[in-house]
Structure 1
Amino acid sequence: MNRPRLGFQIPCRLPASRIAALARGAERAGFDQVWLVEDCFFAGGIAASATALAATERIGVGIGILPAVARNAAFTAMEVAALAEAHPGRFTAGLGHGMREWMRQIGAAPASPLTALAEHLDAVRRLLAGETVTADGRYVRLDGVRLEFPPEVPPPVVAGVRGPRSLEVSGRHADGTVLAEPVTPAYLASARASIARGRVGLDRPHTITAYTLFHADDDLDRARDAMRPALAGPVADPAWAAHLADVDLGPRSEEITALPEAERAAALPADWIDRLSACGPPERCLERVRETHAAGADTVVLCPVGEPEEQLARAAALPALLTG
């Protein structure tokens, strides 16, 4: 495995005016990457990434993810190429399905999300590589399109996906996979197996980036309490089913997930919180990061719960400790 890398996520639910300072802070602390999220209807992912790249000098910047179907593949490639050419070797472009309800809301929900994602990944990767692309797919139709300024160093194009079939698409059509939180060792093993099925016959590298909910506090109980609201909704969300399918949460799992959300937050067992997040004193959070790396993640991205500036300050020592 490559040297373990550590990233820090800048939450989408922040005004864009706070992106630059957070990106600079992550760079000063020695993080390898900063990741941004394009959720409806916050700051656009390309603009947010450009802000982070322009405010920093060395740190990698990833967007995880851009909903593939929200943009024409050629225009996605144009935007990504501009950032990659201006900041060579520093940008990673993530594409994914996008949340189904949001895609319906904007009139862009495809009948076949798997086909749509595969076609977009292929077209964007080929355009960034400088190819002239003609495609007559179900969702991507291009007629002799070639970028005028393909980047000298084509950036990785990764897929942000969850379930087994989507992970196979990522293995076949992307340069890497971004796994949304929570990423337990059991889920990571299952995801890697699905990705491997898609990679049969391929020999190009494929990186895995694991998002991890994070709250550092020297008081473990206080850290767990801060994490409870962030976990209470998702543990009962069908979208999390893939993450929890291989995780044994014990005999009370159905009883707890059936509670109203506020009661569910209070009832979450401490071991659930510990298994589904990195929380507590920084050195304890570091153990979780190392565990995730050991299970097969190339990069672990800390997704702060609470004020991101405060959590970044508490995490500032982790990059040096991880590689020291």
Structure 2
Amino acid sequence: MRVGLGVMPAGARNVAFAAMDVATLAQLHPGRLTIAVGHGMPAWMRSVGAWPSSPLTLLSEYITTLRGLLRGNLTHYKGRYVQVDGLRLQPTSLPGSVPDVLAGVRGPRSLSLSGHVADGTVLAEPVTPGYVRSALRDIAPARPHRVVAYNVAAVHDDPAVALEAARLPLAVVAEDDWRPHIAPLPFRDALLSLRSRSAGPEDFARNMPEEWVRQLAVVGTPAQARARLAELFDAGVTSTVLTPVGPDYVRSLDSLATVLRAEPA
């Protein structure tokens, strides 16, 4: 089972201390750790005084330095935001299996940056096959590059039950930060129009057509969910994260586990 951190905001933690923490986790979970670094949500980062004037520059410097430190390199880096003067992790602190450093980003310029400096990209939900293909065009990786896709997931033997469970978690998709996700969708304009006419996010989610929900989440019976995942992998996803829904996330994991079970012969 892989151990994931989600996305660490670059402005929230000094890169040297992040490297020590990541190295410790990589020793505890050898070969199973996935980490990502991103800009962080702008409003959150501004609220703590950690939003830089050039988020792209910070992310580039941070990922470049972090990758070098985790590989045991003697690191000298004097950038605009990151300054490291002759730092190296002690040999006993180094992980036996160096984890990839992914970038958790979504805008075109940030995706391009990920293709240049990171080992992969984490795409936040919702991730559709069209969004994967669009993101990969921006990433344009010149070397092997992982793509991790997050998606809201609801699985039930009755597809109508699963569909209704996935609605409310999708209420955010019409907000400005999610525009890159919906840009490739054939119903983008209709989605934005519905959002503008809605009384609020919950009203918007309740009135989304069923087909939109099916496109924006991994939803339905186990077989339908597996088919959707196959479409994502065909589009270029290398691994996926399914986000449970409902009042009891732990119990929801039982239903998501059915997606991993092979169909009876």
| Alignment TM-score, normalising by the size of structure 2 | 0.93
Pairing partner for 2:152 from 180, 193, 213: 213
CA contact (8 A) 1:61 1:91 kept: yes
1:286 and 2:230 correspond: no
CA distance in 2, matches of 1:295, 1:251: 23
CA distance in 2, matches of 1:159, 1:253: 28
Amino acid at match of 1:311: S
Q: Deviations over 1:189-224 (max 9, x none)?
A: 01011111xx3xx43x21111111101122222222
SS in 2 for 1:321: coil
Q: Which position in structure 2 is the counterpart of 1:255?
A: 193
| Alignment TM-score, normalising by the size of structure 1 | 0.77
Q: Which position in structure 1 is the counterpart of 2:179?
A: 241
CA distance in 2, matches of 1:180, 1:251: 21
CA distance in 2, matches of 1:217, 1:75: 43
Give the CA deviation at 1:236. 1.9
Q: Which position in structure 2 is the counterpart of 1:188?
A: 132
Q: CA 1:226 to 1:136, structure 2 compared with 1: closer, same or farther past 3 Å?
A: same
Amino acid at match of 1:108: A
1:89 and 2:25 correspond: no
Q: Deviations over 1:143-179 (max 9, x none)?
A: 0011112222211111111111111111111111111
Q: Which position in structure 2 is the counterpart of 1:27?
A: none
Q: Deviations over 1:18-70 (max 9, x none)?
A: xxxxxxxxxxxxxxxxxxxxxxxxxxxxxxxxxxxxxxxxx111111111110
Indicate the RMSD between aligned Cα atoms, in angstroms. 1.6
> How do residues 1-324 of structure 1 correspond to structure 2 at under 5 angstroms?
59-148=1-90, 149-196=93-140, 199=141, 202-203=142-143, 205-232=144-171, 234-249=172-187, 252-258=190-196, 259-261=198-200, 262-306=202-246, 307-321=248-262
CA distance in 1, matches of 2:121, 2:9: 14
CA distance in 2, matches of 1:221, 1:250: 23
Over the matched positions of the two proteins, sequence identity in percent amounts to 44
Q: Deviations over 1:117-158 (max 9, x none)?
A: 110000000000110111110110010011112222211111
Q: CA 1:163 to 1:297, structure 2 compared with 1: closer, same or farther past 3 Å?
A: same
SS in 2 for 1:315: helix
CA distance in 1, matches of 2:114, 2:46: 23
CA contact (8 A) 1:235 1:257 kept: no
Give the CA deviation at 1:251. 5.7
CA contact (8 A) 2:168 2:205 kept: yes
Q: CA 1:194 to 1:311, structure 2 compared with 1: closer, same or farther past 3 Å?
A: same
**5+ unaligned residues in a row in structure 1: which ranges?**
1-58
Question: In terms of mean alpha carbon deviation, does 220-229 or 207-216 score higher?
Answer: 220-229
Q: Which position in structure 2 is the counterpart of 1:24?
A: none
**5+ unaligned residues in a row in structure 2: which ranges?**
none
CA distance in 2, matches of 1:212, 1:251: 22
Report the count of equivalent residues: 259
Q: CA 1:236 to 1:250, structure 2 compared with 1: closer, same or farther past 3 Å?
A: closer
SS in 1 for 2:56: helix
CA distance in 2, matches of 1:315, 1:83: 26
CA distance in 2, matches of 1:316, 1:75: 35
Give the CA deviation at 1:278. 1.1
Q: Which position in structure 2 is the counterpart of 1:52?
A: none
Give the CA deviation at 1:250. 6.1
Give the CA deviation at 1:235. 2.4
Q: Which position in structure 2 is the counterpart of 1:12?
A: none
Higher relative CO (Cα under 8 Å, sequence separation at least 6) belongs to 1
CA distance in 2, matches of 1:157, 1:91: 10
CA contact (8 A) 2:132 2:235 kept: yes
